[in-house]
Amino acid sequence: MQKTKSLIESLVKNNLGLKQINFMVIFNCLFFIALLCRFILQVTNGFSKESWNITEWLINYQGGFVRRGITGQIILGLYNSVGLQPYFVILIISILTYIILVVFFIRNFLKIGFRLSVLLYPFFLGAPIINNFVVRKDVSIMLFFIFIIFLATENPQYFRDSRISLLRLFLINIIFSVGVLTHEELGFIGFPILFLILFSQHKEKLSRFKSVFMSLFKLFPSITTFFACLYFKGSVIISELIWDSWNLVPFPFQNKSETTIPGAVDAVSWSLQKGLSLTIKTFKNFDDGIYAPLIWLIIISSIYYLLSNVDYFRPFNNKPKIESQLQKIYKTNISNILFFQLLGIIPLAVLGWDYGRWVFLWVTSSFSIILLIPAEIIAALLPEFITNVKYKVEIFTSFIFMNNNSKDSINYLLLFLGVPSYGWAMERYLGATPIIIVLTFLSSIFHKFSQLFATFI
């Protein structure tokens, strides 16, 4: 009994970063339960064949080569050859990849000492549940990203000279190409950092020009695949042929009266102008009396400010000198990587308005880099101009938040910071804030207990 009590106290102190159970510990427990219940409800309620969640996985090559088609082709092939039901294949892959991603971050957060509760929030691993995209490709894309970064940085001395370097390079290009064929968003978040990793491994021995050339040459298969996906973006005819290929395939949830091509299959036919029109719509958005680009600037700045504030969410051990040194290194690295990865997300934000998903990719890719690449390598990885611009961003965010680093201020920010799934509307923002999610959950529990109590009266 005493042993169990000590273990609980240790978890509260070290993993939650608090010396005693207070409001935030209770809140985080309720938030976790609320998210878990929401996730179970999403899965049990199911996803219709016409939903964005399912249709994103149904894109295939039945109309010819097209972006995002590899997974749908494999799933259709499995159904035709061995009879595996596509809906359950999609559901199992989505749930397993999400669990693997959660385990990856929990293990590495515990290893370094980051506060686990940060993972719950709508800019991190809570995002797929809050904005209902666990059953989409973004989580799988993050696993591709993590594996590629791992391969590129593990024992870099072997990467340069031995046969292992050729095998690893082959694997990187194969995995990267498959990931890009799954969804081209991997190229936007992955190529810049992977190029810098390869460039850093050449710049000591080669000139700058040769280092750039060798880095790009090593990634040539992946780069070719990426641009092929951008070029073969699809058309109305291809969308029709893709959707027709699923006509005879049964799904447990579907609208048989649907006559138009739905969701992500229809999006394959969208032109560049269609994607840009969503961005233009955002720039004209004054819903609820709030200018959408301004509020998104505040949301992004808030996330950046919160996550770069390692003094708050990184509980170190009891060695003051090490604590100070590590905090300084991690604060610099996290700030630099967050800013660098944000640059890769910008094209996605210009071409589409699923900002909740882009924020998830931004934050998870940034912390994957922090967790996988040694701190001293990160410090020397980024170009000087990135660091210089990052300092100006820090000044801007410090000005917005009046340089207030107190735990209470960060806690308030965590409670009320929401990340809407797409575009801007106050209702979507409030629905994605942790405090509203918890209050709604408690209200539903209270309502159900009231109904249950009423039946006995």
Query: Is the confidence at residue 398, as pLDDT, over 70?
Result: no
Q: How much is the pLDDT for 316?
A: 45
What's the chain's average pLDDT? 82
**Within a domain: residue 248?**
no
What residue type is assigned to position 314 of the chain?
A: R
Q: How much is the pLDDT for 161?
A: 44
Which tens digits make up the pLDDT trace of 63-85? 889 998 999 999 999 999 998 89
**Within a domain: residue 133?**
no
Range of the domain at 337: 276-457
Which tens digits make up the pLDDT trace of 24-53? 888 889 999 999 999 999 999 999 998 989
The SS3 call for residue 416 is helix
Q: How much is the pLDDT for 256?
A: 72
What residue type is assigned to position 265 of the chain?
A: V
Q: How much is the pLDDT for 290?
A: 85
Which tens digits make up the pLDDT trace of 179-219? 999 999 999 999 999 988 888 877 777 777 888 888 888 88
Average of per-residue pLDDT across 124-128: 93
Query: Is the confidence at residue 311, as pLDDT, over 60?
Result: no
Average of per-residue pLDDT across 390-413: 68
CA–CA–CA angle 177, 183, 186 (5° rounding): 65
Q: How much is the pLDDT for 99?
A: 96
DSSP 288-315: GG--HHHHHHHHHHHHHHHHT-HHHH--
Question: Measured between alpha carbons, how far is 249 from 83 in angstroms, rounded to an integer?
Answer: 10
Residue pair 215/199 in contact (Cβ under 8 Å)? The answer is: yes
Residues 6+ apart with CB under 8 A from 121: 414, 417, 434
Distance between first and last Cα of the chain: 40
Structural domain total, the chain:
1
Look up residue 437 and give its two tokens. 């999610």
**Within a domain: residue 212?**
no
10 Å CB burial of residue 33 (0-12, 13-18, 19+) is middle
Residue pair 140/182 in contact (Cβ under 8 Å)? The answer is: yes
CA–CA–CA angle 121, 127, 130 (5° rounding): 95
Look up residue 313 and give its two tokens. 């969410």
Question: Measured between alpha carbons, how far is 441 from 412 in angstroms, rounded to an integer?
Answer: 19
Residue pair 205/88 in contact (Cβ under 8 Å)? The answer is: no
Which tens digits make up the pLDDT trace of 243-265? 999 888 889 988 877 678 888 88
CA–CA–CA angle 196, 202, 208 (5° rounding): 80
**Within a domain: residue 332?**
yes
Which tens digits make up the pLDDT trace of 313-348? 554 444 444 455 556 666 778 888 888 899 888 888
Question: Measured between alpha carbons, how far is 323 from 112 in angstroms, rounded to an integer?
Answer: 12
Sign of the alpha-carbon dihedral angle for 328, 329, 331, 335: positive
Q: Which of 98, 101, 116 is nearest to 13 (CA)?
A: 116
